[in-house]
Structure 1
């Protein structure tokens, strides 16, 4: 299952994210007036596909059989400009955003899981509008948009894991292998959220060597990975020392069912959490610094695991994880970059340096594939390729580490 909302490039990240999210604009409401949206089980019908820039209002009526959501997405299909959730069957909710000129997508998500239905282009014309509102309000909008992004990724992760596990448990290893890296991309974009939840990330994403070192039962993606890419009898584990077959045998059908069902349950727990008051309260408590630290944390994930090829030791699909971590990091950065830019000339220079770092890293990754078309196996990289990635990550990590302090200064 290939993610439909991948970040081919974070174009126009200079677009002020919080301005798009509903602050009061210095302009009259868009001349087209309120747009109506009908969310059904299979469609997302918007009354118009174009509008003038300024304050837009979407009156969303849920005519589906399940609770639904409505999204206005940016042109990359990943960034969320605005969303309303928890619309009960038969109920209506309103989304108000300040939309700048550009290309967008509208989308409904009945059931609040999966990729959604009725994704359609939506164009905004006219002049760029300014946004007002106090600093605290604008920063809260950025936090809210990051929360919406996390929830969307987990909502897409749920059915992707269901499909992946169904193939694994049925013994359709070819299908499971194909879905393994693309399913994990949803998780990798928001991994620090799961890592904050005690043993949930270890259950979902620990490597064998980590589980053994901490005395934990080894479950999750990488336990399944080893079943799908059975190591040779003389292979070593990712620690480079332990024989891969030591204390391990391929899973029986009953064991596959147990591991698969556990992964589904753990991802369901993650989905419950990101839709809970506890998640909202945790993000609000961290504030804009939490979003910035999310960008930093995801790049750290690349530096500590993916760049070494130790994450997906058996499958060699580390570049999928690598790219998804970078996407998630860049997404978080796009929401806070304007706060750093507005802090003075040093902040503006820092933002330019960080953006250049992302651009260079994206370009280097693109030489080896993409999340849509697939990447080369990590074992096909040369030492020169790995050194290039390491140098680019280090070049980005240094200015990125200053982002949070710049924003909060």
Structure 2
């Protein structure tokens, strides 16, 4: 055979092989999409393609056909969050990779990202396909569980100091302790939110209250300290309640249902928290300590990513490179606004600078949304 014919034959063989691989990949993608639970959200509806499906790895494909940004949650009984995705803009799509055990759940779409949402009941059946064990993911989950507990344990003494300052009527000391008392919570907020009842007691803003809900927690005390300049019996009682509620969180952290995919989704949720509350200045609207919360969210997201990186980088090298770059860029940007141990007051950050923060968060959030799929063991 001539060299030319040999080369042509080789190229033909490679082309056929490539086509075959592409066909297999396409079939695999088509099957994954067919197996997915499709959620069509609008301003007045939350429609599901199926309300019963097997336990195990589940792909939830969300399309927002409404005019408002929406959130999608999967709730276990008691509104315990199994998985969620916030800030899904009008006309956009999002895919959530999750691990869901057999049981009864509700899917909630929240147009405008407020309220209890429009809910649909679902049933998850059986035990699910036996997951392939990757010891690296098991180790990542164990390390993250330890980290979450450490953050809760470290939070309590600072919150107790914050409460003691309020009870002593020392407003300046209480103000100085407000942001530090929140760092551990902000780093692991998706774990805290998964318990359902703790987050509304401790971290709700006034505009996030449900009808009839009593306003308690950090932000009520923040308003008293900065806006009302008031420390009375009511504030002292609220300070004690905050300590009690956060000790409840501390005691429950060890029981949280943590998986590799929930860690990855949690990292994305932390970036959503930044995008929807911190960058806008709505989170700490009285104290303007938003950048401290912002940094805590980013630190927590990065910690989860670093634990999952060995598996994610093996499956998607480019994704890992992008995440490394975007995390580094965002943390370098935050560092410019830190003076000693304290961040610049957010009311001093200009609109142009906030736009820079927003762009950096969005640049990280998009690839971070792919992390859960990159750690699903096939």
Is the structural similarity TM-score above 0.5? Answer: yes
Q: Which whole-Å deviations, capped at 9, do the CAs of 1:244-292 have from their partners, x for residues lacking one?
A: xxxxxx65632122101110110110011013xx32xx12xxx211111
Q: Which whole-Å deviations, capped at 9, do the CAs of 1:78-107 have from their partners, x for residues lacking one?
A: xxxxxxxxxxxxxxxxxxxxxxxxxxxxxx
Q: 1:207 aligned to 205, 208, 214, which one?
A: 205
Q: 2:296 aligned to 315, 324, 336, which one?
A: 324
Q: Which whole-Å deviations, capped at 9, do the CAs of 1:25-49 have from their partners, x for residues lacking one?
A: xxxxxxxxxxxxxxxxxxxxxxxxx
Q: 1:150 aligned to 148, 151, 155, which one?
A: 148
C-alpha distance in 2 between matches for 1:152 and 1:200: 18
Q: 1:230 aligned to 218, 227, 239, which one?
A: 227
Residue 144 of structure 1 aligns to a residue in which SS? helix
Match of 2:46 in 1: none
Name structure 1 gaps, 5 residues minimum: 1-133, 232-249
C-alpha distance in 2 between matches for 1:307 and 1:376: 13
Name structure 2 gaps, 5 residues minimum: 1-131
1:351 aligns with 2:320: yes
| 1:135 to partner: Cα distance | 4.9
| 1:332 to partner: Cα distance | 0.4
1:406 aligns with 2:374: yes
Match of 2:184 in 1: 186
1:365 aligns with 2:355: no
C-alpha distance in 1 between matches for 2:272 and 2:227: 29
C-alpha distance in 1 between matches for 2:372 and 2:279: 24
C-alpha distance in 2 between matches for 1:135 and 1:252: 54
| 1:230 to partner: Cα distance | 2.1
Distance verdict in 2 for CA 1:266–1:354, change over 3 Å:
same
Residues 208-357 of structure 1 mapped to structure 2, 5 A cutoff: 208-211=206-209, 213-231=210-228, 253-275=232-254, 278-279=255-256, 282-283=257-258, 287-343=259-315, 347-357=316-326
Residue 250 of structure 2 aligns to a residue in which SS? helix
Residue 229 of structure 1 aligns to a residue in which SS? helix
What TM-score results when the alignment is normalised by the length of structure 2? 0.63
| 1:348 to partner: Cα distance | 0.5
C-alpha distance in 2 between matches for 1:141 and 1:152: 16
RMSD of Structure 2 on Structure 1 (CA): 1.5
Structure with greater proportional helix content: 2
Residue 219 of structure 1 aligns to a residue in which SS? coil
